[in-house]
Amino acid sequence: MSTEPAAQAPVFTFTARLNARLQPEHAQELFVEPLSAWLQDAGQGDAALGQVGLSPDGEVLYVDLRIALQDESEVATVIVALEELGAPLASTLLLPQGEHDFGRMQGLGLYLDGQNLPEQVYETCDPHEVFEQVSRCIDGLGDVCSFWQGESETALYLYGQDAAAMEQAMAGFLASYPLCQDARLERIA
C-alpha cells in the first residue's frame, strides 16, 4: 500500500482570458504547458486551453485558459505565474465573484499588405525574412510570439515590455524592406 496521500480533485475553476493574439499551438506552448506543469508540480491543480476568440475574418483576438485549483487562495499566485510567462496588458481573470484585470506585456501587430504591392515584391521578398529580421531587431526587447495569415494581409504579433521601444528598434528594417511597404503597426496590448 502506498503511504502517499491521494491527489485531491481541483475544487475551484476559472478562466484566464489572455489579451493575446496567439494561434492555439502557440498559446499551448507559451502558457498552457508551463502553467500546467507548474501547477501539477506544486500539487495545486491544472490548466488547459479553452475558447479562442476570433474576429469575423478569422484573426485570433484572445485566448482563454481554463484553470482548476485545489484552493481558491492560489489565484494570486496564478496571476504572478501568468505575468511571468508574459501575459499581455488587459488580460482578465473571469472569476465567479467578478473580473480581475492583469498582465504586463505590451503588444504590437505588424500587418503586411498581401495584395496591393507590386507583383515583383511578392515574387522577390519572403515573409519569413520579415519574421527573422523583426525577431533580430527586437531581440532583448520582446519576441514575435505568433502570426496570422488573412485573405489580404499577414500579421506578426510581438510582445515585450515596451511597445514604443520595439517599434523604434525595427523602424529602419520596416522602412527599407520592400515587403514592408504600406505595412501597418497596431497596438494590440
Is the model more confident about 9 or about 30? 30
Instruction: For Cα atoms 70, 76, 80, give the angle at the middle one, nearest 5 degrees.
Output: 115
Is the model more confident about 4 or about 162? 162
Residue 100 C-alpha cell reads as 480581475
The number of folded domains in the chain is 2
Residue 42 lies in a domain: yes
Looking at 70, 102, 134, the residue that finishes a domain is 102
Q: How many CB atoms lie within 10 A of CB 34?
A: 16
Instruction: Find where cell 523604434 sits.
Output: 168
Which band of pLDDT confidence, cut at 50, 70 and 90, is reported for residue 10? Answer: low
- Whether 2 has a pLDDT exceeding 50, the answer reads no
Per-residue pLDDT tens digits for 165-183: 999 999 999 999 999 999 9
Instruction: Find where cell 493574439 sits.
Output: 21
CATH code at position 77: 3.30.70
